Amino acid sequence: MKKYHTIAAMILASGMSTFGQGATPAPSLAKLEALAKQNTPPAVHEGTGFQADGAVKPIFFDALDWEGKPTRVFAWIGLPAGASKEKPAPGVVLVHGGGGTAFKDWVKEWNEQGFAAISIAVEGQTEQNGQPPAKWQRHEHGGPARSGTYSDFTKPLEDQWMYHAVADTILANNLLRSLPEVDPAKVGLMGVSWGGVITSTVIGLDQRFAFAIPTYGCGGLHKAASHYSKHLANNTLYPILWDPNLRLEKATMPVLWLSWTGDSHFPMDSLAASSEKVSGVSVFALVPKMGHGHGPARKRAESYEFAKSVVQDGKPWCVPESTKIDGGTLTAVFNSTKPLDSATLTSTTGTGDTSKRQWIEAAAALKQEGGKWIATVPVPQGTTACFMNVSSGKLVATSDYLQP
């Protein structure tokens, strides 16, 4: 394998360019963007050694070369009942987080919601040997496994884990949208934790997705008030290439940022900064006491309802029209296709890592005026961050995140 003694040598070897003498290097992910424009589905192979579960089937599909060798991605794929060429279903690509793999139950859950789904394994693995936290089993054609937090940044670009994880996701999109039973204009993307980071990265490169649901994960991690900023302190490539915020303005599809205030990995201010970069409709669902993991992300109904409303109506079921503080009172105006039951202000007077702050909830007044819902509540003196949650049954929708 080639060795690079300086970051500049690595950048040039990776096909990047510079803006004049002494200028900051200009990184390029042009090959991944081109992959998204090809629409060519990867070759698919039988998932030998794994049993289908009803309509959900195990497969491998061809992916990019890694260290000069061809790779494949393990996945579970399934169609909802009734999907056909005459009546194609919407679809979703599903990307796991750290400690995860391709989950067939996740596919089944989306199938039950009327979506075709493909859940991919992005670390060259298949399933776990035993229950978590048992390690997953790598297969013979696997690509790179994740090495820490972008710890492989000195390797050639096309041998780095994130490069392959992003490519795998784009290829899964190419595959799912090529099926005659799937409507290619209604395929979305959801990722959890590291999968949320991948989702945030992919939607800046592949604008074909009808919707995106980055769960927990976001961009700006080198500035985050969490462990990520420490891990990325000496990473010279992340701020100029891998930070999703660099390209999120290209994301024009509706985006749902699904998380909670107690998340110790991806702070609220980092999540908000990524949301502000998106060019399309960008909304939050900040669920109280949600917890961090694949289970909470899959059990919550917000992702399914968001996706269904976008593919059916072209927009999320609930969108904040405005969120502002005037005279010590926060007023949040929502456009909702569902009746709203209650409104709650969540606020903090703390500083630093948002997961370590004390967050206080206070009931807000809620009224309907025409097609709009208006929530109002006094804001505690000294508030440093706040937002309004509204509920419709068990569903939670969130206003803009304010940092007065």
pLDDT tens track for 195-248: 999 999 999 999 999 999 999 999 999 999 999 999 999 999 999 999 999 999
Would you say residue 8 has pLDDT above 60? no
pLDDT tens-digit map of 241-268: 999 999 999 999 999 999 999 999 999 9
Tell me the pLDDT band of 10, cut-offs 50, 70 and 90.
Answer: very low
Tell me: do 160 and 251 sit in the same domain: yes
Boundary (domain end) residue, out of 316, 334, 349: 316
% of the chain residues with pLDDT over 90? 87
Burial 84-100 (b: 16+ CB within 10 A, else e): eeeebbbbbbbbbbeeb
Q: Give the helix/strand (H/E) hosting 7.
A: helix 7-13
Domain assignment of residue 404, yes or no: no
Enter the pTM of the model. 0.92
Look at the chain and report how many structural domains it folds into: 2
Rounded to whole angstroms, the Cα distance separating 209 from 184 reads: 9
**In angstroms, what CA-CA distances link 392 with 317, 324, 343, 364, 389?**
10, 22, 10, 15, 10
**In angstroms, what CA-CA distances link 240 with 24, 246, 345, 355?**
9, 8, 37, 27
Would you say residue 168 has pLDDT above 60? yes
Boundary (domain end) residue, out of 316, 347, 379: 316
Domain assignment of residue 389, yes or no: yes
Would you say residue 40 has pLDDT above 70? yes
Tell me: do 153 and 207 sit in the same domain: yes
Rounded to whole angstroms, the Cα distance separating 162 from 139 reads: 19
Rounded to whole angstroms, the Cα distance separating 238 from 244 reads: 9
Q: 236 burial class (0-12, 13-18, 19+ CB within 10 angstroms)?
A: middle
Tell me: do 299 and 330 sit in the same domain: no
pLDDT tens-digit map of 303-328: 999 999 999 999 999 999 999 999 99
For position 127, what pLDDT does the model report? 76
Tell me: do 261 and 385 sit in the same domain: no
Tell me: do 278 and 144 sit in the same domain: yes
The DSSP call for residue 6 is S
We report the CATH number of the domain holding residue 50 as 3.40.50.1820
Would you say residue 39 has pLDDT above 70? yes
For position 135, what pLDDT does the model report? 66
As a whole number, the mean pLDDT across the chain is 92
Tell me: do 230 and 200 sit in the same domain: yes
pLDDT tens-digit map of 12-28: 344 443 333 344 454 68
Tell me: do 310 and 382 sit in the same domain: no
What range does the domain containing 343 cover? 320-398
